[in-house]
Amino acid sequence: MRKEDCYFLGKIIRRHGLSGNVILKLDTDQPEFYNKLESIFIEINGLLVPFFIEKRSWSKVDSLNLFFKNTTEAMVDQIIGKNVYLPLATLPKLTGKQFYYHEVLKYEVKDSHGNSCGVIREINDQTAQHYFILVLDGKEVIIPIIKDWILDVDRDHQIITMQLPEGLLEVYTQ
């Protein structure tokens, strides 16, 4: 499995107890999607290694207590602090105005009048307010991702239409 064919699910943060269990801290808004998780890929030395889950239970709302099949204590020690991935094909399809960040990269953002605001180069989700980083006429444009501002996601034409506050783009065109 290649990393580019996967999405980041979370991180193994610590051991749980003495029997080889670990805690997987999920990086998702919808942890309930992972109730029946059977396997995961853990990044070890740059490679995605499959681990098959024997037992799972919720530790917290966003953390799973996992016990893997056929693992040794040394293997458990090696995966603490490692990133966990799942194949992109396992993501549920989203419709309407909902989208996954990875799926809208290279989409064009337009305002409600049909004017281009730029093409999404990357998305910053490391701050309290997530935002699109667009490129427009060689300039970097930053637009906050606010659900109420998103009017339409056209997957066929790769366009997101947004209702932007008046004057937002004028900052970049001066």
Delimiting residues of CATH 2.40.30.60 domain(s) in the chain: 3-90
Delimiting residues of CATH 2.30.30.240 domain(s) in the chain: 101-173
CATH of domain 101-173: 2.30.30.240
- Residue 110 contacts residue 120 (beta carbons within 8 Å): no
Quote the pLDDT of residue 173: 56
Please give the chain's pLDDT, 174 residues, in tens.
889 899 999 999 998 876 789 999 998 878 888 888 999 999 999 999 999 999 998 888 889 999 999 888 888 899 999 999 999 998 888 889 999 898 999 999 999 999 999 999 999 988 999 999 999 888 899 999 999 999 999 999 999 999 999 888 777 655
CATH of 3-90 among 2.40.30.60, 1.10.260.40, 3.40.50.620, 2.40.30.10: 2.40.30.60
Quote the pLDDT of residue 28: 84
Share of the chain above pLDDT 70, in %: 98
pLDDT in tens, 16-48: 876 789 999 998 878 888 888 999 999 999 999
3-state secondary structure the chain: CCHHHEEEEEEEEEEECCCCEEEEEECCCCHHHHCCCCEEEEEECCEEEEEEEEEEEEEECCEEEEEECCCCHHHHHHHCCCEEEEEHHHCCCCCCCCCCHHHHCCCEEEECCCCEEEEEEEEECCCCCCEEEEEECCEEEEEECCHHHEEEEECCCCEEEECCCCCCCHHHHC
Q: Closest by alpha carbon to 119, among 131, 129, 133, 101? A: 133
Quote the pLDDT of residue 137: 87
